Amino acid sequence: MTMKIAIVHNFYSTLTPSGENEMVLQQCSALSGAGYEVRLFSRDNDQFLDSRLGRIRAAWTTATGIGRYPLKEINSFKPSIVLTNNLFPNIGSTWISEVNAPVISIVHNYRNFCANGTFFRDGARCFDCTLKTPLEGIKNSCYKRSSLLTLPLTVSQFRRLHNQHEFEQYSYFIAISEGSKAILVESGLPSDKTFVVPNFIEDLSVYPNLEARVEKRRWIAAGRLTEEKGFVNLVNQWPDQYNLDIVGNGPLYNELNYLIEKRTNIKLLGQMKRDDFLSILPRYSGAIHPSLWPEFSPLTVIEFLSSGLPLVSLNSNTSSNLMTKEKIGLTMIQFSPRDLSAAFNEIENNRSLYSRNARNSFESNFTKQVWINNMNHVFDQALKSRTR
């Protein structure tokens, strides 16, 4: 009998490119390909937040956790396992305890403990909501720079603080990197119920130009152009003797465009179709991961590794442990023209070694089959715990 998996996700707006949305679709495809019967239960911000009533309903759902969807639909499907990804802001959590199957939460951000989900505010890391009080989120207008919009998230944080059932109703949690697990556990997730299962992508060796000629002194960075992603800091510290291409779009596009107006060695390529982006990666000397927040495991980093691109990042990033352990690149305390140049010189002089390590890291940690194997282990543990 085919094992059934229900996947629950609130899709972010199509106006905001989301690696999380992409990852959920890949989960469905991978699990279906592995022989599971998969059904996706979802809400969509484009549909539910296009009216004032929809936004009020979302605020209520976020604050209280109340919401019956998709309980009826899931119990009708009769899955063996339920996987939740993002529930914010249109899917409640009160239905979880009534599902007739183990429920596993894949945690993609810090929103359970931080109103904006990043532990980052005003250009620096911030843990005030966990170290002091969730009221700090309202005080600092952390979500979309609005105290009013932050209010429902703050209420939800207090609800979790005073009701451990919020976390107990889940069989297990999945963090997508060791670094993010450490922060999540310190913030309140139970360590003994939290697995680490990294994200995955399809093997890029099927894409053209994998053996493309590498251009020396040309590096690439990619991601949503927001403050916490660190692109402004990167551009301000970029050394003149190296070329940088930045792929992505977001609120800081115009600011970055202004900053590079007289920098002929830095180009903003804007948003690219995924296949086009993947096809150009092998030509670069390496990639930069400039995030300032304790980011989980962005798909762009996995894409870089699959193409054998060495990485440079800040050592405060949650990817830095992997980089150091598997020698796939170099980290530093902060970016400066001098330190970046030294890192680039080291990597370009030994690129074949770093590139091989990057590709090996991808094959060991981030392929679809590795993800399936890891998820099978979590499923087994969840089903065993259910029968005890």
What domains, with CATH codes, occur in the chain?
4-200+368-387 (3.40.50.2000), 204-365 (3.40.50.2000)
On whether the CB atoms of residues 89 and 10 are closer than 8 A, the answer is yes
Pairing verdict, β 311-314 and 329-332: parallel
Beta bridge partners of 195: 174
- Using DSSP, state whether 7 is helix, strand or coil: strand
- DSSP calls for 238-297: --TTSEEEEE--STTHHHHHHHTTT-TTEEEEE---HHHHHHHGGGEEEEEE---S----
Q: What would the two tokens of residue 44 be?
A: 């969509």
Q: How far is CA 97 from CA 5, 161, 287, 320, in A?
A: 17, 18, 44, 37
- What are the backbone angles phi and psi of residue 246, rounded to the nearest 5°? -115, 125
Angle between helices 351-365 and 299-306 (to 10 degrees): 120
Predicted confidence pLDDT, tens digits, the chain (388 residues): 799 999 999 999 887 768 899 999 999 999 999 999 999 999 999 988 878 898 999 999 999 999 999 999 999 999 999 999 999 999 999 999 999 999 999 999 999 999 999 999 999 999 999 999 999 999 999 999 999 999 999 999 999 988 877 899 999 999 999 999 999 999 999 999 999 999 999 886 654 455 567 889 999 999 999 999 999 999 999 999 999 999 999 999 999 999 999 999 999 999 999 889 998 999 999 999 999 999 988 899 999 999 999 999 998 887 788 888 899 999 999 999 999 999 999 999 999 999 999 999 999 999 999 999 999 999 999 999 876 5
For residue 14, the model assigns a pLDDT of: 82
Give pLDDT tens digits for 239-268. Answer: 999 999 999 999 999 999 999 999 999 999
What does pTM read for this prediction? 0.93
Query: Mean pLDDT across the chain, nearest whole number?
Result: 93
On whether the CB atoms of residues 248 and 222 are closer than 8 A, the answer is yes
On whether the CB atoms of residues 365 and 198 are closer than 8 A, the answer is yes
On whether the CB atoms of residues 220 and 194 are closer than 8 A, the answer is no
Angle between helices 19-33 and 368-387 (to 10 degrees): 80
User: Rounded distance, CA 68 to CA 354, Å?
Assistant: 50
For residue 207, the model assigns a pLDDT of: 47
On whether the CB atoms of residues 371 and 198 are closer than 8 A, the answer is yes
> Residue 43 contacts by C-beta under 8 Å, 6 or more apart in sequence?
10, 11, 69, 90, 91
